[in-house]
Amino acid sequence: GDSVTQMEGPVTLSEEAFLTINCTYTATGYPSLFWYVQYPGEGLQLLLKATKADDKGSNKGFEATYRKETTSFHLEKGSVQVSDSAVYFCALSSPYGGSQGNLIFGKGTKLSVKP
- Applying the rule CB under 8 A, the residues between 17 and 76 that interact with another protein are 32, 34, 36, 41-46, 49, 51-52, 55
- Applying the rule CB under 8 A, the residues between 76 and 115 that interact with another protein are 89, 91, 93, 99-103, 105-108
CA distances from residue 75 to 22, 47, 80, 82, 88 in whole angstroms, order as listed: 6, 10, 12, 17, 9
CB of 15 to another protein, least distance (A): 25
Which residue, among 72, 71, 108, 103, has the nearest Cα to 89 in the 3D structure?
A: 108
CB of 9 to another protein, least distance (A): 10
* 65, 56 Cβ separation under 8 angstroms: yes
Three-state DSSP at 108 gives: coil
Smaller CB separation from another protein, 80 or 91 = 91
Smaller CB separation from another protein, 14 or 45 = 45
β-strands 86-93, 32-38: how paired? antiparallel
Q: Which residues bind another protein (CB under 8 A)?
A: 32, 34, 36, 41-46, 49, 51-52, 55, 89, 91, 93, 99-103, 105-108
